[in-house]
Amino acid sequence: MTRSLALSALILCAPAFAAPDAPAAPSDPAAAPTTPQAEPIAAPAPATSGRNVIFFHPDGMGLNTWTAARLHTVGPDGTLAWDQLPHVGIYRGHMKDSLVASSNGAATIHAYGVKVPAKSYGMHGRKPLTAASGFKGSVAEEAIAKGIAVGVVNTGHIAEPGTGCFLASVEARSQADEIAKQVIRSGATVILSGGEQFLLPAGTAGTHGFGTRNDDLNLIEEARELGYTVVFSRDELLALKPTPETKLLGVFAHGHTFNDQPHADLKSAQLPLYAPEAPTIAEMTQVALDVLSQHTQGFLLIAEEEATDNFGNANNPNGVLEAAARSDKAIATASQFIDNQPNTLLLVASDSDAGGLQLLTIAPPSPFAFKPGSKIPQRTANGTTLHGVDGSGSTPFESKPDAQGNSMYFGLAFATRADLPSGLLVRAKGANAESLPLNFDNTDIYHMIHNTLFDLPEAEEAPASSDTAAPATTPER
């Protein structure tokens, strides 16, 4: 490797669906982190007698992305919340017809426990799908049918498949209007996302822009008629005082709550990485837990940080680092909840690695060493663009200090704009986490959720703090 370039792998994955109408931001908003300083702090939730499951999906985050997030957020000797989850497996994410997962195909497998073609969205291609348990619906739909509260949280729009496939079944991912309708009518207790455009008829003015639906349905008004409290901003969300009767719909953007474009494009347009009036994934997760934990029979929460994927596909390293840091805060929120509610399982997994992000550095005593104020090369030795804080050829990114108080410097490069299948881990904490297999097939997301919710003894009979293992079986319906 020329000029002693040290390479450490780092990867990401993403679809591209931009968030229009994002507000302008102060000077160089595309480079500056936008995570709000205040995080919601809730009182301990009421104890649930049933089992709870939190499935967190930091989309597009491979092992290399977590490495970069650690260096940038807490330093090489620091520990992320993700690092502290005690159970680890190697995630295998192939589809029925593809070695690389699609977002909608993988989410369908997570929701049903059955291998499907890559183009599936809550179906087996274009055919109805029965879950591995024999239930004619997803694990979330089975939970709702059994009186267990369900919540979905996404920084993307409401039709994003990481959460949408648990509540909707369509023949094509492009059917966003139909997906949104099915999600609103699913019976879920909590729905938090962007995507106001898919909830309003074309031309109807909303809080974040105009509707784009091709029918006359106003799903926001329908949600109110179904008993949902509807909120449109971070401030409104954090002001909520949930009760056992609360049903919550949050609509925080016209499309996504982030602007998934390359760094240079965001800088030119004076757009921030995230819409500042939208809540973070950690804040949405906290409020969702506050609402769902009012239901003492147990709950299922599916939460997704979509921006980690989309910024990776856009080859925007600043966006990836910010979205990764936000993902880790959401994991910390869920992990803290389990400390108070040990009858809860937390599963964290991504189905692919977006963009093939790689971390490079040149260390002293090389005369080309990356250091404060220096300019990194515009390209690596093989011609790949090397990104610094302000794009190619700019100053390097800086790690947080190591145990000796020293910061180090690095650049980031992407291998592709596509999704990749390598370097994926699944991690777990809490009830039933010890049953996590070392070699973890993507169908095992479903089995872990299903077993924890439906197949284990009541929480008081099997102390969840012991992480008691359970076999990966699915009962007769």
pLDDT confidence of residue 21: 36
Using DSSP bridges, classify how beta strands 386-388 and 391-392 pair: parallel, antiparallel or unpaired: antiparallel
103 carries an active-site annotation: yes
Two structure tokens written together for 210: 């105009």
Return the pLDDT at 459. 43
Residues of the chain under the 50 pLDDT cut: 1-44, 459-477
Q: Report if residue 380 sits inside a domain.
A: no
The verdict on residue 248 lying in a domain is yes
Residue-level pLDDT at 48: 53
Measured N-to-C along each axis, helices 317-340 and 63-73 cross at an angle, to the nearest 10 degrees, of: 90
Burial of 39 (0-12, 13-18, 19+ CB in 10 A): middle
Distance, in Å, from the CA atom of 59 to the CA atom of 103, rounded to the nearest integer, reads: 8
Give 199's contacts (C-beta < 8 A, 6+ positions apart).
158, 180, 184, 206, 211, 213, 218, 219, 220, 223, 251
Residue 314 counted as domain residue? yes
From residue 288, how far is each of 21, 155, 282, 447 by CA, in Å? Answer: 26, 13, 10, 23
Note the pTM of the prediction, 2 decimals.
0.87
Rounded-to-integer distance, Cα 277 and Cα 52, Å: 30
Please report the pLDDT score of residue 81 as a whole number.
Answer: 98
Instruction: Please report the pLDDT score of residue 50 as a whole number.
Output: 81
pLDDT at 47: 52
Q: What tokens appear for 194 in the block?
A: 């962007």
Note the pLDDT tens digit of each residue in 118-130. Answer: 999 999 999 999 9
Catalytic residue among 103, 133, 233, 394: 103
Residue 238 lies in a domain: yes
In this predicted structure, what is the pLDDT of residue 455?
Answer: 85
DSSP label at residue 455: I
| Residue 261 belongs to a domain | yes
The Cα 386–Cα 408 span in angstroms is: 17
The tokens 């971070």 sit on which residue? 234
Q: Give pLDDT, residue 266.
A: 98
**Which runs of E-coded beta strand occur in 289-447?**
299-305, 344-349, 353-354, 357-361, 386-388, 391-392, 397-398, 409-414, 419-420, 425-430, 439-441
| Length of the chain measured in residues | 477
Q: Is 59 annotated as a binding residue?
A: yes
Res 376: pLDDT: 94
Tokens of 359: 């971390």
Look up the CATH number of the domain holding residue 331: 3.40.720.10
Rounded Cα distance between 113 and 109, Å, is: 5
Distance CA 177, CA 196 (A): 11
28 is in an annotated binding site: no
Residue 23 lies in a domain: no
Beta strand 386-388 with 344-349: parallel, antiparallel or unpaired? unpaired
Annotated binding residue 309: yes
Classify burial at 155, counting beta carbons within 10 Å of its beta carbon; exposed 0-12, middle 13-18, buried 19 or more.
buried
What is the domain count for the chain?
A: 1
**Residue 72: domain span:** 45-355+426-466
> What distance in Å separates the CA atoms of residue 30 and residue 147, rounded to the nearest whole number?
44
Q: Establish whether 160 is an annotated binding residue.
A: no
pLDDT of residue 202: 98
Is there a domain that residue 306 lies in? yes
